[in-house]
Every structure is written in structure tokens, then in C-alpha cells.
Amino acid sequence: MTASAEATRDAGGALDVAGGNADIAALARGGRTNFLGFLLRLAARLPFLFIAGRLYGAEALGRFASAMVMIELAGQLCTLGQKRGLAQRLSEDERHPANIIADGMVLSVAIAAIVGVALYCFPAPMFPSGHYSAIDRLLVTAIFPATITDIALAALAYRYDVATTVRSRSLVEPWSLSITAAACYYIAPHSAMAASGLAISYIVSQYTSALTALVPLLRSYGWPRDWTPHPLRIGRLMLSTMPLAAADAVEWGTRKLDIAILGLFAPPAAVGVYYVAQQVASLPQKLKTSFEPILGPVVTRNLKLRNYPEIARQVCQVGFWITAAQAGIALALGIPGRGVMGLVGPHFIGGTGALAFLLLAEVAAATAVVSEAVLIYIARIQNLLVSLATIALQGALTVGGIMLVEQLRLGELYRDAAAAASLMLALGIASIIKSRLLSRLLDQPINNWRLALFPAVATASVAGWLAVRFLPEWAELILGIPAILGLYCWVLWHKGFGPDDRVLFRRNVGVDQPKDAATVVAGGDSAVILAEAGLVKVDLAKAGRA
């Protein structure tokens, strides 16, 4: 072997190591930033639930929840999978990035206009109970900003700007929602504004969130250059994104189908109780999305390199982080569940069982989510088929469970628990199938679980039981939740976290760390791709001479 060949071989190995470490560091930094967003969102979402439950009541909240199912579904369909597919287009399309983003926004806005007009003219799907006002019908205007915000944040995440997502989704959106809802109720307590305060607050929150995302987008990418929308080009874009859009809609549908079915079988008050439980349980769900903006670009780059072992490593690493975090939060919110639900109002305590099942569903879904982050690029149709089977199974289990509850005459709130348990079972089965499919395609093992989780869960569960058993309800929340989380994290840190795991908590580790290790790398496709990504410094002129 010649000296230059040996240098190239050693350089390639250095690139793999540097690139792999840089990827883990990038995932850790993005997840760490978004985890802060999760905490901020938690602090902002709870006031809204308190305001909605205490001031507006379970029935008004139930009508709002039913409308949200259709509004958010419309937003998902109008985005056409671009939240995850945009990263691949930006990495493969040679046009100016701002032009690529503009094509996506024009397509989504055009579809949003059609869907919005249809829902405004035929509002029955949004309000199955038949009770709504003229202001409530204006909820369709929130589809436009929601769609644009998703695309803008996906484009910014491609350049590792996760901080804007935190500001838009975890600060501006939830706080404007809470503040506007309270203002509508107190400023004009007996007016139409107060009656439709939840709808008004949602519309305001979506427009303020969009503005927060669009300003950094223009600063980062600038305006399109020499660009005009072309029907054929945008039509081809729509066709290429349809499988991903369908997968996104199905994945979203698994989290909303339960509310849609409950709206048909249960009164609005029961739907309102379930909505509160779902909102509390969806807080740990945001942890999965904490890593999605960074995982997409990392996966697409490694797919170019055909570095399948590294992709499997990243999926398992991120999957463990998500599973561990969600399990801890599920314990902290689920064990003192009566106190958590009681914060919203006494009537909502009956949703404690549904809350427990929904929290377990988020833990069960973690493996499916990280597996799907890769499957959407290498097996879109197979992933879509599994997702369709999942939502069909969930629908059958939910209807069957509700009918069983009615036959046994167990009461309205048991319907909520049956719907939540159906979701948990369906997502758990989907996780098993998708992880095995990805393992077969990559020819690598995929597993998010580690034995260290079990002693951590056991220790935290004992602490939670003692808190519920011997402390008053207010102390369960103030003292019990920190104790559960503290013991869980302590055991997990000492028994389950290795060097790669602890990168998540090192502020001085970022995507720039591996640069020095890679400056000696010779040329090649790997060097070009990593250099373009900004993860390594490569002197391509010297590489060419070598």
C-alpha cells in the first residue's frame, strides 16, 4: 500500500470518528436547547389549562378540543410533510435555499386556502356538537400561520438554529395563548369575545408564533433570488412529498383520533376532561420533537455516506435519551396524577386514569418515533403502511373499548381511560414493528431500552408512593414531583449513563468540538460533505495535493 493510500485510509477513519462524534454532539446540543424549550412550554402550558378549566369550564374546553382536531389536521395536511422532508430537499437541490423554501411555502399556503375556505363553509366537522359562534368559525384562519411556521422552523433547524423553535413554540405561542384567553374573559366577561375566548387566543398565538419564526428565517436565508412560482415545479414537489405527508398525517392522527372518536360517543364535558389529560401527557411528547430538527440533517448526511452503523448508533442514542426522559416525566406527572389534574379543576380529577395511560403511551412511542426519522428516507411506503395499520388498530381498539365501557355501564370517564389505553397499545405495537423494520434495512440492531432504566423507575416509584401515601395533595406536587425526578435522575446517571450519554449535559461540547481532530483529513466525498455541513475543517487544496 502506498503512503498516499495509507494517508487516505487513515483520513477516512478520522473522518468517520470525527463525523460520528460531531453528530452526537450536534444532537446533544439541539436536544439540550429544545429540552429548555420543553421546560418553558411546561411553565406556559399549565397556566392555559388552569385558565381554560377554571374560567371557561369543561364543556367549552371540550368544544375547543373537538375544533382543534380538524384545525391541526388541516395544518398537517397543508404542510405536506415538509417539516421533515425539507432537510432532504435542501441537501440535494442545487438552487438557492431561499427559493426551495419559497416553493414549499407557496404550495402549503395554496392548499391552506382551499382547506380553510372548505372548513369555513362547512364547519360541522370542527363542531360535532353543533354549538359554535361566528368567531369560532374564524379558527380556520389559524391554518395559514401554523403551516408557514412549521416550514420556517424546519428550514432554520437545517442550519442547527433550534433556539428559534424554542422562542416560537415554547415562549411566544403558549404565553400568548394563556394571556389572550385570560384577557378575553376578564375584559368583556359577558360578551361574545368571552364566549369565544379560547378560539381567539388560539388564533392570536398562531400569528405571533409565525412572526417569531419568519424574522429569523429571512435573516438566515434572505429573500428568494430570481424566483417565480411555477405550477409544474410546485406540482412535482407536491407529488414527491405526498408519501411523507401521509405518514405525518397518520402519525399525528394517532394522537387525535381518540378525541375525534370521543366527540362522537361522549358529551363535550368528557371530551374536555380528556383534552386536559392529553395536554399534560403531550408535554413529554415534545421531548421527541426536541431531537427531530437535528436528527433529520444528521441522518440525511450519513445516508449519503452509506454509514449505516453510525445511523443505527445515533438512533439508539437519541432513542435512549428520549425514552429515559419520558419515563422520568411520566412517573413525576403520573404518580401524583390526581393532584396534577386537580389543578385544572375538581371535575378534571376523574381523568387521572386517562392521564396515566397517555403518559405510558408516550414512553411506548419513543422507539417508533426515532425509527421513523430514518424510515421516512429509506422506506417511505413501508413506513406509511405500518402507520396506516397503527391508526386502524387504534381506531378499532378505541371504539371497541368505549362500547365495552357503555355495555358495562361504567361511566363517562371510563371512556376516556379506554381511549387512552387503546392509544398506548397501538403505539407500543408500532414501536416494535418499526424498530425491527429499520434494523433489517440497516442490518444493525435497534434498541432504545437499557437495564439501568428499571432500577431508576423502581426507586422513583417508591418515592412517589410514599409521597402520595403520607403527604397532603399540595405537598405531593411541591415536594413529591421533585423527589421523584431527583431520585430517578440520580440512579440513572450513576447506573445507566455512559460517556456518550453525558454529552447531553456538557455545555462545552458542541458541534465544533471535532474540528481539530479532522483538520488532517485527506480529500474525498466524506470530507466534502462534512466540510459543507460545517462540522469539520478540511483544507481541500492540501487534500487534493495529497
pLDDT in tens, the chain (546 residues): 444 444 434 444 444 444 455 555 555 555 555 556 566 666 677 788 888 888 888 788 888 888 888 888 888 888 877 777 787 788 777 888 898 888 888 888 898 999 999 999 988 888 876 778 888 889 999 999 999 998 998 888 888 787 888 788 888 998 899 999 988 888 766 666 667 889 999 999 999 999 999 999 999 898 988 888 777 777 777 777 777 777 777 777 777 788 888 878 878 888 888 888 888 887 666 666 656 656 766 777 788 788 888 888 888 888 888 888 888 888 988 899 888 888 887 888 888 889 999 999 988 888 888 888 888 888 888 888 898 899 899 999 999 999 998 888 887 778 889 999 999 999 999 999 999 999 999 888 888 888 888 889 999 999 999 988 888 887 888 888 889 988 998 888 887 776 666 555 554 444 443 333 333 333 333 333 333 333 333 343 333 333
- Contact residues for 477 (Cβ-Cβ < 8 A; gap 6+): 336, 339, 340, 343
Per-residue model confidence (pLDDT) at position 435: 92
State the helix-helix crossing angle for 308-334 and 337-344, rounded to 10 degrees: 70
Q: Is 447 left (phi over 0), alpha (psi -120 to 50) or beta?
A: beta
Residue reference for cell 372518536: 261
Cα 150 from Cα 164, distance rounded (Å): 12
Per-residue model confidence (pLDDT) at position 260: 80
Cα 524 from Cα 95, distance rounded (Å): 23
Reference 430, options 374, 357, 355, 370; nearest CA is 370
Instruction: Judge contact between 393 and 426, C-beta under 8 A.
Output: yes
Cα 38 from Cα 46, distance rounded (Å): 12
Q: What is the 3-state secondary structure (H, E, C) of 173-227?
A: HHHHHHHHHHHHHHHCCCCHHHHCHHHHHHHHHHHHHHHHHHHHHHHHHCCCCCC
The angle subtended at Cα 533 by Cα 530 and Cα 538, nearest 5°, is 45
Cα 203 from Cα 273, distance rounded (Å): 22
Cα 83 from Cα 304, distance rounded (Å): 20
Helices and strands per DSSP (H, E), number in the chain: 24, 0
Cα 348 from Cα 502, distance rounded (Å): 39
Cα 534 from Cα 516, distance rounded (Å): 13
Per-residue model confidence (pLDDT) at position 428: 93
Q: Specify burial of residue 231 (Cβ count, 10 A radius: 0-12, 13-18, 19+).
A: exposed
Reference 220, options 154, 168, 299, 173; nearest CA is 154
Q: Specify burial of residue 186 (Cβ count, 10 A radius: 0-12, 13-18, 19+).
A: exposed
Per-residue model confidence (pLDDT) at position 543: 36
Q: Tell me 538's DSSP state.
A: -
- Assigned C-alpha cell, 86: 425539507
Per-residue model confidence (pLDDT) at position 210: 94
Cα 246 from Cα 386, distance rounded (Å): 12
Helix (H, G, I), strand (E, B) or coil at 416: helix
pTM value?
Answer: 0.69
Reference 58, options 412, 313, 296; nearest CA is 412
